[in-house]
Amino acid sequence: MKLFGKKKETKTCCCGGNCTSETMENAESKKQEKGIKILGSGCIKCMELEKTARTAISELQLDYEIDHVTDFVEIAGYGVMSTPALVIDGEVISYGKVLKVEEVKELLMK
């Protein structure tokens, strides 16, 4: 009788076991898309960042579409562990906080 045996190791991924090679490839291909993305679950902070980004785009008179990503597999593909996050042309610019309009404008003009 074994009371204290070595536990069987189980491997899980960052998204709770929903990752397959197909979903990870899909997430990687979406990272290459141009444009602005807001990564987050749809909480108040995520919506506030989206509103801030829309205001900044409007004030700068830019022609950008904003995509709000709520799929956790895709968010994990960006390496983001804290939302909301702002992605511009596939690069994570900010995460874990709501930016002000002036901050977003500065990032868009770079």
Cα dihedral angle (6, 11, 14, 15), rounded to 10 degrees? -120
- Contact indicator for 45, 94 with CB cutoff of 8 Å: no
Can you list the alpha helix ranges (DSSP code H) found in 1-110?
A: 21-31, 44-60, 72-77, 101-109
CA-closest candidate to residue 51, choices 84, 89, 15, 2: 84
Express each pLDDT in 62-100 by its tens digit.
Answer: 988 899 999 888 898 889 989 999 999 889 999 999 999
- Domains of the chain with CATH codes: 21-104 (3.40.30.10)
CA-closest candidate to residue 18, choices 69, 78, 87, 77: 77
Express each pLDDT in 44-67 by its tens digit.
Answer: 999 999 999 999 999 999 988 899
Express each pLDDT in 4-17 by its tens digit.
Answer: 666 555 544 555 55
